[in-house]
Amino acid sequence: MEFKVFTLNCWGLAVVSKNRRHRMQAIAEKLATSQYDVVCLQEIWLDSDYQLIRNKVSGVLPYSHYFYSGVTGSGVCILSRHPMEDVFFHQWPVNGYIHKIHHGDWFGGKGVGLCKLKVNNYTVNVYSAHLHAEYDRNCDEYQAHRVLQSFDTAQFIQMTSGDADLVVLAGDLNTEPGDLAYRIMLSVPGLVDAFGEAGETVQNCVATNESLTNSYTPVALLKKNIPGKRIDYIMYHPGSSLQIDLKSYTLPLPHKIPGCAYSYSDHEAIAATLIVTKSEIRSLKSDQHMKKTVLEESIEICDDALRGLNNHKYLYWFFTFVLIVLLVTTLATDLPFGYNLNFIYHILKILITLFMFYTLMMATIWNKIERHAVIAGKLGMETALRKLKAKDL
């Protein structure tokens, strides 16, 4: 059988995302005339946008599920031509910081969504994820979070796909080919990158974000003629008695919405058609050396993150002590500026108190939560690494 997959980060932030309403309408209309088996969308942050797309495509994709999570929702939804037998959402234990409001990943309660489909008597597990964004490649404070999210997703796929005839992972993974998070996705669960299987025929389909043909790519990047980056993926692997061949890999949407001067999103959609055939019973082989390498690198990243958390804890404790001293000083002394500034002096004391509680929380509760999440991920990596090394003995 043929199995057609589509994925797109829709850039659906309220207020912030440009031309959002019209773009969502255009995405819905495009999908309503499609013949995909499954569609994975990310950054559908508003329930109204999800309902719009869901209702518009119901004729060709009658089954749908939105993975509600966090404050704003995960932004991830899956629409399918085939019945959904089971759905499940696994939220990642580390996902940015609550005080980094301008980044906002924490508020999405991000994770990986699973829809188990029944397709012509085959069981197909479709996973969709949207990893933490990389805001500064030269100084990436979220590298450990993204590595842990990647390993968590890889483990989740391994542990839930035992009875699946076909496994598909589609979404914005916010990691470029060759990055550690990307290599974890391939090596740990044994997935195949559809782009890599397509070979030389898709060299013009490399950039899925900040593409030179996308209307939302910053002008500064266009002037430098930077070709963009590939951070959106369709990955897959077959069950033990099936063979999967890639028929096509494309960027299916036009550069611009017809009749408009802007694109469907700041990302490019990707689509892949897989050919599923029965084969002799075989065991799936994976590159054990690569798996060991990525696990060792991941453990090092976790160790660096734990050292950083320890330093942050002492730094926040220091600020807490300074703020306590300032607060006690303001409470124990008379108003030094005269009674005309009494209001401002009280505001200052309130601000000192608020900052003190913030630094205290970061030194204790938040530090402990993140530390435990990193340790949990590291222990999982060490267990997987020990298992691989035991096989070599």
Helix axes 288-332, 342-363, angle to 10 degrees: 150
Q: Which of 90, 130, 145, 267 is catalytic?
A: 267
Provide the CATH topology of domain 2-282.
Deoxyribonuclease I; Chain A (3.60.10)
Average of per-residue pLDDT across 325-346: 73
Q: What is the pLDDT of residue 377?
A: 93
pLDDT averaged over every residue in the chain: 91
Q: Are 19 and 26 in contact (CB under 8 A)?
A: no
- The residue-averaged pLDDT of 356-377 equals 93
Burial class (CB in 10 A: 0-12, 13-18, 19+), 319: middle
Q: Does the pLDDT of residue 92 top 60, yes or no?
A: yes
More confident residue, 262 or 280: 262
Percent of the chain with pLDDT over 90: 76
pLDDT for residue 336: 59
Q: What is the pLDDT of residues 101-156, one digit of tens each?
A: 888 898 999 999 999 999 988 999 999 999 999 988 888 899 999 999 999 999 99
Q: Do 381 and 151 meet the contact criterion of CB atoms below 8 Å apart?
A: yes
Residue 303: CB atoms within 10 A of its CB come to: 13
pTM value is: 0.90
Please tell me which residue, 204 or 104, carries the higher pLDDT value. 104
Q: What is the pLDDT of residue 334?
A: 65
Percent of the chain past pLDDT 70, that is, above it, reads 95
φ, ψ dihedrals at 198, nearest 5°: -70, -25
267 is catalytic: yes
Q: Confidence band (pLDDT; 50, 70, 90) for 202?
A: confident
Confidence of residue 162 (pLDDT cuts 50, 70, 90): confident
Task: Sheet containing 192-193: give its strands across.
Answer: 84-91, 111-119, 122-130, 166-172, 232-238, 192-193
- Cβ-count burial of 213 within 10 angstroms (0-12 exposed, 13-18 middle, 19+ buried)? middle
**Residue 81 has what pLDDT?**
97
